[in-house]
Structure 1
Amino acid sequence: MGSPIRTASRLLLAMLAVSVMMPSQAAQLVRIGAAHFPPYTVRPESGADTGLLPQLVEALNASQSDYQFVLVPTSIPRRFGDLKQGRIDMAIFENPAWGWEDIPHTTVDMGLEDAEIFVAQRLPDRQQNYFADLSGKRLALFSGYHYEFANFNAEPQYLAKNYNATVTYSHDSNLLMVLRGRADIALVTRSYLSDYFLRNLKVASELLVSDRIDQIYHHYAILRPAAPISGEAFGKLLQGLRDNGQMLRIFDPYKIAVVPVPHSEPASHVAN
């Protein structure tokens, strides 16, 4: 008859062997496209985790263990193909009207709102009516952005021809063009301008910010049909971050409004 210690040791070894043979319940990997869209994502190809998207991903991962969210660098023009081809599972801080119409997807309302505003150099005789008419003015715009005043046509040639626009990949460059008199008006997101003024305290008095809003950004997540997470599940994770105050902590400092989300099922869109 074996000793109790020997029996216990054999039992422990058997349990360890079974645990090695059984597949582990690993978290589902969910790849989120990270395109340069400051202050949401800042040059993700550089490998630096800067911007609001990395903060949101960190909060999502800390709140549960069923999914592991990771960032995959992409670009504003390339993100459509990356989602369609399955290189990424989700595009975030999006709107279904921004070129997604012909791509099968599910949308999830994130309950976040930002705004696109006009900025000009502050001059003694310049008032808010300066922003009422854009004709004859030189515009500084961000490449790939869909502007309401331009009927959401993001083609650089169209913007240059019809709106005398210079298109760049930098809000900082566009604001510098305005400050140096090389452009009359730049369009920037309210969140970015808030961050810019924090980094450039002396500049705020040199710029005139419009009361006019080009558009309200109501942010959605765009999921591919075969994504490892469903729209309903992702919506519940976001709601959890709203309930525990994480959404407000991340976005409120940048004047991004956390707004109520209607209680409805995520909307699916299947291209013809």
Structure 2
Amino acid sequence: MGALLLSFAGLLCAAEVVKVGGAHFPPYVVKSNLQESSGLLPQLLEALNQQQSEYHFTMLPTAIVRRFGDLQRGRIDMAIFENPQWGWQGIDAEAVDMGLEDAELFVARSEALRDQHFFDELAGKRLALYRGYHYGFAQFNSDPEFLTTTFNANLGHSHDSNLLMVLRGRADIALVTRSNLYDFLERNREYARQLLISERIDQVYRHHAMIRSGAPISAERFAALLEQLRANGELARIFSPYRIAVTSAAADSSAAEYAAD
């Protein structure tokens, strides 16, 4: 028994540790502290660790607004479920197409005579948005002052709270990721008929991993590990229940450098 424990410890010592930033954002990360964290990111890291022994992926708590600096300083090696347009310009990192797609939807309270045309025009409507997020309708400008003054937006730290603001009449429209919306409805089925969900999509998230220059793992190697999880069905097992589409990663852009122009 002692020999087995020593052998396991030796494998961990031999493995390169890859620090992955985890910011609270359900269902991707639910509570980013290491003792209580859950969600899709911990599941993905567990699957990556189980399939190989060359690297040991571990989640390190960060915040949505702090993750850029954490990666630049080397506090984390990788940020996952990203988009190169979300403020990564000018940061020395490589983008890996993960072959995972989510989307941002508009959600309003269902009312008599209210239909999809309610989402045609945002002017004059009270918006509930997630602080630090980049929205397509705002040209991906996440500056809080810009969003609050230009779009009459309330900026929060919880999609659930934003949806409840809509249900209680404190906001007209909330923007919510598809994965979080259907996770919310699964947990709160009584609200399903009370929400009007847009056919209009603010943006489709083609998820990427952003890997810093000098990280223990290369973009090419991480892309190969993801491809193994795609082939054996692990990505579908983890992400499909949350309506996150598992697609083929773009072969010609699986590792594309995203640095300053």
TM-score bucket of the superposed structures, by smaller chain: over 0.9
> Residue type matched to 1:27 in 2?
A
SS at match of 1:126: coil
Question: C-alpha offsets along residues 209-250 of structure 1, whole Å, 9 cap, x if unaligned?
Answer: 000000000000000010000000000000000010000000
| Change in 2 beyond 3 A, CA 1:77/1:33 | same
The question of 1:47 aligning with 2:35 is answered yes
CA drift at 1:24: 8.8
1:23 CA drift (Å): 11
Structure 1 counterpart of 2:167: 179
Q: Which amino acid aligns with 1:81?
A: G
| Structure 1 residue 263: Cα displacement | 1.7
Q: Sort the Cα spacing of 1:24 and 1:97 in 2 relative to 1 into closer, same or farther, 3 A.
A: closer
Segments of structure 2 that go 5 or more residues without pairing to the other structure are: 1-6
Partner of 1:191: 179
- What's the Cα RMSD here? 1.6
Residues 206 and 231 of structure 1, relative CA distance in 2, 3 Å threshold? same
SS at match of 1:124: coil
Shift of 1:25: 6.4
Does 2:59 match 1:71?
Answer: yes
Structure 2 counterpart of 1:203, one-letter code? Y
The residue matched to 1:31 in structure 2 has which SS? strand
Is 1:114 the equivalent of 2:106? Answer: no
TM-score by length of 2: 0.93
> Secondary structure, in 3 states, of the residue corresponding to 2:14?
coil
Provide the rounded CA distance (Å) in 1 between the counterparts of 2:178 and 2:250.
24
SS in 2 for 1:40: coil
Structure 1 residue 263 and structure 2 residue 251: aligned?
yes
Q: 2:156: which partner in 1?
A: 168
Q: For residue 60 of structure 1, what is the aligned residue in structure 2? A: 48
1:90-101 alignment runs, 5 A limit: 90-101=78-89
**2:48 is paired with a residue of what secondary structure?**
helix
Q: Deviation string for 1:145-171 (max 9, x for gaps)?
A: 100001111111111101000000011
Shift of 1:114: 0.3
| 8 Å CA contact 2:99, 2:207 repeated in 1 | yes
Aligned 8 A contact 2:20 2:57 in 1: yes
Tell me the CA shift for residue 260 of structure 1.
Answer: 1.2
Aligned counterparts of 2:155 and 2:181: Cα–Cα separation in 1: 18
Q: In structure 1, what is the equivalent of residue 25 of structure 2?
A: 37
| Cα distance in 2 between the residues matched to 1:102 and 1:60 | 29
Query: 1:49, CA displacement in angstroms?
Result: 2.6
Tell whether 2:203 aligns with 1:215.
yes
CA distance in 1, matches of 2:116, 2:260: 42
